[in-house]
Structure 1
Amino acid sequence: MFKDKLAWQIAFYMGLQSSLAYTVFGWLPTILQDRGLAPVDAGLAASVSILMQVPTAIAAPWIASHMRDQRFMLVLVMLATLSGLCGSIYAPINGVWVWVVLLGMGQGGSFSIALTLLAVRARDAEAAARLSGMAQSLGYTMAALGPLCVGILHEKFDSWNVAGGFLALVAIGAIVAGLGAGRRLYVLDH
C-alpha cells in the first residue's frame, strides 16, 4: 500500500482534514474568547459547530457515494470548512454564529467522506482493510500535529492571525489531496 499514490492521497486527505478537526476541538473556544466572546458563548459556539456536523456527516458520504467520483463533494466540504475557519478567526465577531455553523457543516462532511474513501477506493475487503490501516495510522499521526503547531504559532506571534494562515494552508492541502483521492480509481490497480 505504501507504494500506491492514491493511498497516499487518501492518507494525506484523512490527516489534513483531521488536523483541522482536532484544532477546532482544542482551540476554537480560546480563539473566540480572545476575539471578545464570553467564555460561555465561546463554548456554546464550539458546541454548535460540533452539533452541525451531524447532518452533513450523514448526508455528504451518501451523496458522494452516488456520484461518479467524490472530488466535487470533497472540495465543497473543505471550502465550507475553510470559510468557517477564516470567518471565525478574521471576520467581525458578531457574525460568528454563521461561521461556526458553516465550519461544522464542512467538518462533518469532510470527516465522513474521508471514511467513505477507505471503502470506495478499494476493490475488495482486504484492500480496504490495508488502505484503512495505512490512511488512519498516517493520517491521525499527522492530525495530532495540527493543534500543536497552532499552539506554537499563537505562542510565538501572540496572535491568531498566523495560526489562521497555517490552518488555511492545511485546508488548501486537504483540497489538493482530496482532488487526487476523490477520483474514480482504486488502490493497488497498476
Structure 2
Amino acid sequence: MISRQVMFTRRTAPYWATFFIILLTAGWLLWIGREPICKCGYIKLWHGQTASSENSQHIADWYTPSHIIHGLLFYAALWLVAPRLSFGWRLAIATLIESAWEIVENSAAIIERYRAVTISLDYYGDSVLNSVADIIAMMLGFVLASRLPVWASVALALGLELLTIWLIRDGLLLNVLMLIWPLEAVRDWQGAL
C-alpha cells in the first residue's frame, strides 16, 4: 500500500494539480450542460467528418492537431517566461490555460460566434469527452516539445497546421482568424470543400 506521504510530495504536487484541473474542467462543463459524450450514444476514437453533428463529440477529430500545437506553443512560451519553474508546474499552468479555453470555447457566446462567422453551422459545442481529450492532446504536444529539438517541434507544428489546412481547409490559425476577424473570402473557400 502506498502511503499518503509518498503520493503527495513536492515532486508530485504539480501532477496532482494538473489532474484536478482536468477533473474540475470536466465537472464545470457537465454543470453548464455540456453533453458527456456524443448524443449518438457511442464513443469513437476518431471522427473524421468536419461537417457533421458528431464533430467535436468523440475522442479525436481533425481539430485534435490544433490542440497538440497548443501544447507545443505553451511549452515554448512557458520555457521563455518561466524557465526556472519545474516541468510539472509549467505543465499544470499549460493545462490551466487549455482548460480555460475549453470552458470559454463551450460557452453559449463562443458557440454562437462560431456558428455565425464560420462554416460550422452544426457546431453546438464539444462533448465533455472531447474537451478532456483536447486537453490531453495539448499535454501530448507539451511533452513532445520538452523531448524534441526545437527544429522538430517547429516542423511538427507547421506540418500539423499545413495538413489540416490541406485536408479540411481549417486549422489553428484559420480558426483563430475566423473567430476574431472573419473574412468572407476565407469562409467561402472553406465552404467549397
Could you state the TM-score of these two structures normalised by the residue count of structure 1? 0.35
Structure 1 or 2, whichever has the larger Rg, is 2
Q: Which of 1 and 2 has higher RCO (CA within 8 Å, sep 6+)?
A: 1
